[in-house]
Amino acid sequence: MDPGSVVEGVGAGQAALPLTGVPEPLWAASPSKLLAFLDCPRRYRLQYLDRPSPEKRRQRAHTSVGNAVHHALRDWWDLPERRPDAGAGLVDRAWIDVGFRDAAQSAQWRGRMREAVTGYLADVDPARQPVGVERTVSFVSGELRLTGRVDRLDDRDGELVVVDYKTSRVVPTADDARTSLPLALYAAAVWKMFRRRTLRVELHHVPSGTVVGHEHTPESLARKVEQARSIARDARRADRDHAEKGADSELFPPRPGPLCGWCDLRAHCPEGQLAGPEKSDWAALDDADDRKEPRWTSE
């Protein structure tokens, strides 16, 4: 099966809209928006629907670390001379002291990421220009218009490969690459936009230099696109109910659990506050912290 047929909305088990009557506008989403609804409808409502938008807590340290590394790896491709050690200076330029316990912890992690980015870039061919760096991709399937951003898009032997950088303490596995909904949706979008076969997706863990990947099939990509459409249908139905009832809608139940300790909006969710203590700004950097990080922090 060509995933392009599903992306186009043909062959996905959905009848064409009748010619009489006005078709509904496309429902716009990103992979993070879909996962937010899937993980916790209450958080989804707070983030995407409630107005005025409730205030979020300040950025955590692991987000500051991840942003600096992503920006450094993006800007490296713009350098006139792409040396691995130049990555350290790019980390310095992108670094912000937000979320750390103190200046000493920030300096420690800044040094770690300087070394990590330099080591990672030592294995990157500077002459092999990617097809895209932080490239925005999108596709339409049925009533869903999905948009996302790919960290890096490589050309290997005539096929395109989706590369996603990771900076968390936990090293990803090949199963993480296989099951990732965002990676599969990026691959489907790239195939549609570039009209080139795109089946391989990879997670590059910068701190360890670990690279894990998965080779999708057209059928497995099509299943991921259909999964996204199913989530989108449920979310859109909830959106309509919220438009009518506001915060009184019952379609946004909280899902209390370990992720509540990481939620940026827990101050507005009584159930989430009762689920357990809030994680500190720097908790994800603590090797002694046995935790489960939310999926939305590492996208």
The reply to whether 183 falls in a domain is: yes
The reply to whether 34 falls in a domain is: yes
Q: What is the pLDDT of residues 55-87, one digit of tens each?
A: 999 999 999 999 999 999 999 999 999 999 999
- 87, 124 contact by CB (below 8 A): no
Question: What is d(CA 68, CA 48) in angstroms, rounded to the nearest whole number?
Answer: 26
The reply to whether 193 falls in a domain is: yes
The reply to whether 145 falls in a domain is: yes
Q: Which domain holds residue 165?
A: 3-9+26-50+130-228
The reply to whether 117 falls in a domain is: no
Number of domains comprising the chain: 1
Q: What angle do CA 191, 165, 94 make, to 5 degrees?
A: 120
The reply to whether 176 falls in a domain is: yes
Q: What is the pLDDT of residues 231-247, one digit of tens each?
A: 999 999 999 999 999 98
Q: How many DSSP H helices and E strands does the chain contain?
A: 10, 6
The reply to whether 250 falls in a domain is: no
Would you state the pLDDT for residue 297? 42
The reply to whether 37 falls in a domain is: yes
Number of C-beta neighbours around residue 111 at 10 A: 12
Number of C-beta neighbours around residue 151 at 10 A: 21
**pTM for this structure?**
0.88
